[in-house]
């Protein structure tokens, strides 16, 4: 395992910020283990199974007041109709995700891997199953979801060894993956989304067809959002051999307009399929971004 790379993506400040939060299913999910997510299989009776600590957003009618009286701590009663969630983390490892190392030492892939590692950590902590898929034009890594403790080491090992190497092609690998994931669960897609909008549309539609709860993290380098360049610069394609010599200041206004319009189209496409969309810049505090999103998700679910 690449220890140096692992230390870059496992960020204690991020883990500490989200450690008291949970990744909840927005809708009912299929499963057979005791967990924190609502199951469609209610049966004729609901039997008590275990306790877990209360987190904001939990239904207070399930608080065990007897335990609170004894320990002064809030615990929720879990029942057999609550189920484990299977989470599939899908990570873009195409060449464009490598941008940033020459600019400020932080590339998009490192940020994406930290998001992936944080979700894996949270899923494991709440006894849910988590898997990892890495893709460019093909599926490069495919670890099926598991809740076994040793599975986390395998996921972190793969994350630490990922190297961007090819062009992005979201259509073929993700449609292939959607066909492999038939159990309803959570899909976390992490990519810069330098893809055709129609390809993204059809991909999300495919996952939603099988009832997946989809979160899309669009990771961009701060340079790609703010375009801080000046003077006459040679721009080189990350996934093509195209090179353009241009005056950066004369391009800035139009470039930012196009980027904003594209990001808005991506957001609308996600919304169209009831998928969450989170735009992340490499200059953002991931601890703040992820904790804010997870808090929002918990509040949203508690209203359903």
Domains and CATH numbers, the chain: 3-24+84-302 (3.40.50.410), 43-80 (no CATH)
Q: DSSP H helical segments within the chain, as ranges?
A: 3-9, 12-18, 65-71, 108-125, 149-161, 171-180, 197-209, 222-226, 248-272, 286-302
Tens of pLDDT, residue by residue over 216-230, are: 999 999 999 999 999
Average pLDDT, the chain: 85
| Distances from the Cα of 63 to the Cα of 38, 51, 249, angstroms | 16, 9, 59
More reliable by pLDDT, 152 or 53 = 152
pLDDT of residue 24: 74
Residues 91, 9: Cα–Cα separation, whole Å: 14
Q: Is the pLDDT of residue 179 over 80?
A: yes
Q: Is the pLDDT of residue 186 over 80?
A: yes
What average pLDDT does this structure show over 160-178?
91
Of 29-38, 79-88, 156-165, 288-297, the poorest mean pLDDT is in 29-38
Residues 123, 151: Cα–Cα separation, whole Å: 12
What average pLDDT does this structure show over 31-55?
51
CB 304 within 8 A of CB 274: no
Greatest mean pLDDT among 60-64, 183-187, 210-214 lies in 210-214
What average pLDDT does this structure show over 169-174?
93
pLDDT of residue 3: 66
Percent of the chain with pLDDT over 90: 53
Residues 148, 160: Cα–Cα separation, whole Å: 19
Q: Is the pLDDT of residue 80 over 50?
A: no
Q: Which residues pair with 134 in a beta bridge?
A: 91, 141
pLDDT of residue 106: 84
39 SS3 class:
coil
Residues 218, 213: Cα–Cα separation, whole Å: 16
Q: Is the pLDDT of residue 67 over 90?
A: no
The C-alpha R_g of the chain, in whole angstroms, comes to 21
Q: Is the pLDDT of residue 38 over 80?
A: no
Q: Is the pLDDT of residue 52 over 90?
A: no
Residues 6+ apart with CB under 8 A from 164: 93, 94, 95, 96, 97, 98, 107, 109, 136
Confidence of residue 100 (pLDDT cuts 50, 70, 90): confident
| Distances from the Cα of 287 to the Cα of 14, 49, 161, 293, 294, angstroms | 4, 33, 23, 10, 11
Q: Is the pLDDT of residue 89 over 80?
A: yes
Q: Which residues pair with 236 in a beta bridge?
A: 243
Q: What is the DSSP secondary structure assignment for residue 194, as one 8-state letter?
A: -
More reliable by pLDDT, 8 or 273 = 273
Confidence of residue 2 (pLDDT cuts 50, 70, 90): low
Confidence of residue 30 (pLDDT cuts 50, 70, 90): very low
Residues 223, 96: Cα–Cα separation, whole Å: 13
**The two structure tokens encoding residue 209:** 């067809």
């Amino acid at each position: 395992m690449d220890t140096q790379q692992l230390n870059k993506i496992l960020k204690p400040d991020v883990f500490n910020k989200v450690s008291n939060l949970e990744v909840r299913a927005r809708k009912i999910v299929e499963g057979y283990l005791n967990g924190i997510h609502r199951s469609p299989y209610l049966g004729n009776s609901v039997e008590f199974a275990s306790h877990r600590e209360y987190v904001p957003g939990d239904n207070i009618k399930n608080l065990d007041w007897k335990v609170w009286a004894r320990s002064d701590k809030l615990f929720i009663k879990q029942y057999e109709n609550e189920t484990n969630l299977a989470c599939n983390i899908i990570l873009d490892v195409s060449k464009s995700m490598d941008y940033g190392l020459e600019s400020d030492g932080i590339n998009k892939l490192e940020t994406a891997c930290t998001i992936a590692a944080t979700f894996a950590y949270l899923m494991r902590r709440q006894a849910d199953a988590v898997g990892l898929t890495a893709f460019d034009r093909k599926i490069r890594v495919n670890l099926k979801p598991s809740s076994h403790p040793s599975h986390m080491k395998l996921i972190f090992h793969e994350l630490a060894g990922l190297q961007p190497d090819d062009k992005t092609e979201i259509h073929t690998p993700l449609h292939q993956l959607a066909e492999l994931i038939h159990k309803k669960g959570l899909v976390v897609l992490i990519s810069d989304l330098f893809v055709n909008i129609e390809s993204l549309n059809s991909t999300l539609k495919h996952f939603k067809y099988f009832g997946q709860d989809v979160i899309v993290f669009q990771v961009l380098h701060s340079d790609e959002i703010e375009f801080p360049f000046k003077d006459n610069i040679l721009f080189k394609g990350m996934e093509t051999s195209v090179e353009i010599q241009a005056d950066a200041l004369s391009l800035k206004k139009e470039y930012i307009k196009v980027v904003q319009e594209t990001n808005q189209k991506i957001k609308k496409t996600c919304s169209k399929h009831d998928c969450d969309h989170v735009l992340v810049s490499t200059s953002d505090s991931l601890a703040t971004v992820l904790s804010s999103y997870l808090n929002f998700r918990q509040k949203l679910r508690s209203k359903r």
